[in-house]
Amino acid sequence: MLMHPRTSSVVELQEQTIEGLHDFLMATVLSRYAVQGGQAIDLGAGSGALALRLRMLGLDVVAADINAEGFRADVPFTPLSLNGQDFASRLKGPFDLVTAVEVIEHLESPVGFLRNVRRLLKPRGVAVITTPNVDSAPARLKFFLYGTLRLMDERGDRTHISPIFWDMLTRQYLPRAGLNLVEHHPYPPRGYKATRRHYAWVFSILAGLLPGDTLLGDNHVLVLRPGA
């Protein structure tokens, strides 16, 4: 485990996510589930911006990512491949809180990753995971017209290799991993940031007219607990 005593300011660290997602997580989810003095780990920590936010909530935080390149937070850091079949065994858990923001879609085995998250959690622990919403209204229209996935095609991040479809996630992935979904939040809650503004309002209206819980938002925010 490495220490990086470089900065303690969240403002100085780049948030490698869609704009405003960290603020939304803090206000909507993390502030409610943070256990004062509890143990937390941020998987796929990037610059360490979220790890610092978790520490501000009174958590004892560690971070992990493929390497320390770009990591600037002064919290303990473990270089770790999250594609490893049993990467949880290399971390000193269990934890009260596990976070993985915009990580799972970069990995080769989403179910394997979720199983490791389950192993890292205490019996009453919570995992907060986010991922691009490939079931949103704009994503469905783009796939219908062009046969490509929004935020995951040649115009998106080329390291996105595992789209997380809502039906497969809830019906197959989470049960196989031993996790229960306790909360789901779309981000943004009522619209889209990754869509041109003059189209976004049209999709918001369309999402309100059609059935389904996944038509709004560019990202899923998932709150998970260990299952039986």
CATH number at residue 195: 3.40.50.150
Q: So what's the pLDDT on residue 190?
A: 80
pTM, 2 dp: 0.89
Instruction: Please tell me which residue, 190 or 209, carries the higher pLDDT value.
Output: 190
Q: Where are the beta strands (DSSP E) in the chain?
A: 39-43, 60-65, 77-79, 95-101, 121-132, 179-187, 219-226
Tell me the residue range of the domain where 108 lies: 21-226
Cβ–Cβ < 8 Å for 29, 185: yes
Question: Is residue 3 a part of any domain in this protein?
Answer: no
Domain count, the chain: 1
Residues 6+ apart with CB under 8 A from 54: 30, 34, 40, 42, 61, 97, 99
**In the predicted model, what is the mean pLDDT of the chain?**
88
Model confidence band, residue 12 (pLDDT cutoffs 50, 70, 90): low
- Digit-coded pLDDT (tens) for 63-91: 999 998 889 999 999 999 999 999 999 99
Question: Is residue 12 a part of any domain in this protein?
Answer: no
- Digit-coded pLDDT (tens) for 181-190: 999 999 998 8
Residues 6+ apart with CB under 8 A from 220: 130, 131, 132, 133, 164, 166, 184, 185, 186, 187, 214
Per-residue pLDDT for 115 more than 80? yes
Question: Is residue 7 a part of any domain in this protein?
Answer: no
Question: Is residue 2 a part of any domain in this protein?
Answer: no
Question: Is residue 15 a part of any domain in this protein?
Answer: no
Question: Is residue 6 a part of any domain in this protein?
Answer: no
Per-residue pLDDT for 157 more than 50? yes
Q: Residue 161: which of 104, 111, 219, 115 has the closest Cα?
A: 104
Q: Residue 183: which of 130, 112, 106 has the closest Cα?
A: 130
As a whole number, mean pLDDT of residues 13-32 equals 87
Model confidence band, residue 200 (pLDDT cutoffs 50, 70, 90): low
Cβ–Cβ < 8 Å for 130, 79: no
Q: So what's the pLDDT on residue 159?
A: 86
- Digit-coded pLDDT (tens) for 30-70: 999 999 999 999 999 999 999 999 999 999 999 999 998 88
- Digit-coded pLDDT (tens) for 170-182: 999 999 999 999 9
Amino acid sitting at position 222 = L
Question: Is residue 214 a part of any domain in this protein?
Answer: yes
Question: Is residue 8 a part of any domain in this protein?
Answer: no
